[in-house]
Amino acid sequence: MLDLGGEYQLFADEIRAAIDTVLESRQFIGGPAVAELEKALSSRVGSEHAVAVSSGTDALLCTMMGLDIGHGDEVILPAFTFFATAGSVARLGAKPVFVDIDPRTFNVDPVKIEAAITDRTRAIIAVHLFGQCAEMDAVNAVAARHHLTVIEDAAQAIGATYHGRPAGALADAACVSFYPTKNLGGFGEGGMIFTNDEHLAGIARQLRNHGESQRYVHERVGGNFRLDTMKAAILLVRLRYLDEFTKRRRDNAARYNALLDKIPVTTPYVPAHQKAVYHQYSILCDRRDELRSFLQERGVHSAVYYPVPLHLQKCFASVGCRRGSLPVTEQICDRILSLPCHPMLSDKDLRYVASGIHEFYERLVPTCAATSDTRGAAQPRSVNLRQD
């Protein structure tokens, strides 16, 4: 699914030089590279403030701590996302309220949000899943009617745009991740909070350093949410390659779309007003697990993000959701498969992956190669290959 070694060889000398600079400075915590990274990314995103933190999870946690979200509060979010989105809510004693998703984009369905709002709702977390923005105009409109805060979980979406505006600048606050597998991945954990709210940014800066307002003076109970200088320095090197790598991912996705056009799978749907960054290239398919095994036998890795939706996880049983309560989410979890889409793939690689998928379905139904089923089609068709 990734070729981190191949990527590293492209900028190994620059990385080593950045590491040497930090080692020579001996400023391993709070060194100048942290502020430089904050400045570079805030400028790129168009956000007035950027606060570097220790992980994408801690970015969510710190943001909600800064908003004073806690016991008795509710936060609305999709159940189709990485665990940290809901886990951060629960860690603060608040209740995650799960809503269903749009079947084409896999992002939160704004229509479902309004029905889930109660007098305890404090915030909405809109996840930009797989590198594609949620429908933020509609989400923000719902939030404005009910005086709610909106947080972008943009962990997978740095570089994505929505109506020409970058992910990270579409709500009251946004959180990104620099986990090694992300499009802007570092050497270890890391994250960033973006906001135009000066007050929230100031609180976040205190919270990331145990709530300090000045040395050994604590206005709040925070935590150790600091981003190491070494990691920031490495991310600054990686940032130089982000646009090139994003273009490669988009080119790979376009090539997949063409290669899979006559195969009975559903390819990613991206509305015209958006530009996705394809953190994952995810298809919908019948006999998903069999297809995955077939590809594995051919040496093709794939992944399932995510096999069990959050509302059905044991740790959230107290929320009270049952199977069938979020039907679209559950159906997607049963049929989704992510294919390799990283920047180091060649056209030969892409054709090999696509040929494996074609061969799998051709063996099942010889006529399936003549059938197209994509999320971008005007009238999407479904080919049911399941045998009862």
Residue-by-residue DSSP string for 288-313:
HHHHHHHHHHTT---B-S-SS-GGGS
**CB-based contacts of 151: which residues, under 8 Å, 6+ apart?**
60, 63, 64, 123, 124, 125, 126, 171, 172, 173, 174, 175
Structure confidence by residue, pLDDT tens digits, 84-134: 999 999 999 999 999 999 999 999 999 999 999 999 999 999 999 999 999
- Residues 253-278: what's their mean pLDDT? 97
pLDDT-based confidence at residue 385 (cuts at 50, 70, 90): very low
pLDDT for 364 equals: 81
- Residues 53-72: what's their mean pLDDT? 98
Radius of gyration for the alpha carbons in the chain, expressed in angstroms and rounded: 21
Looking at the predicted structure, is the pLDDT value of residue 152 above 70? Answer: yes
Looking at residue 50, its amino acid is A
Separation CA 63–CA 213 (nearest Å): 17
**Tokens read off for 246:** 């994003």
**Domains in the chain: ranges and CATH:** 4-239 (3.40.640.10), 242-370 (3.90.1150.10)
pLDDT for 320 equals: 87
- Residues 327-347: what's their mean pLDDT? 98
pLDDT for 366 equals: 57
Q: How far, rounded to the nearest angstrom, does the alpha carbon of residue 368 sit from its chain's CA centroid?
A: 33
H or E stretch including 193? strand 191-195
- Residues 209-222: what's their mean pLDDT? 95
Between helix 56-66 and helix 198-207 the angle, nearest 10°, is: 120
Separation CA 78–CA 388 (nearest Å): 31
pLDDT-based confidence at residue 378 (cuts at 50, 70, 90): very low
Structure confidence by residue, pLDDT tens digits, 341-373: 999 999 999 999 999 999 999 988 654 544 444
- Residues 60-82: what's their mean pLDDT? 98
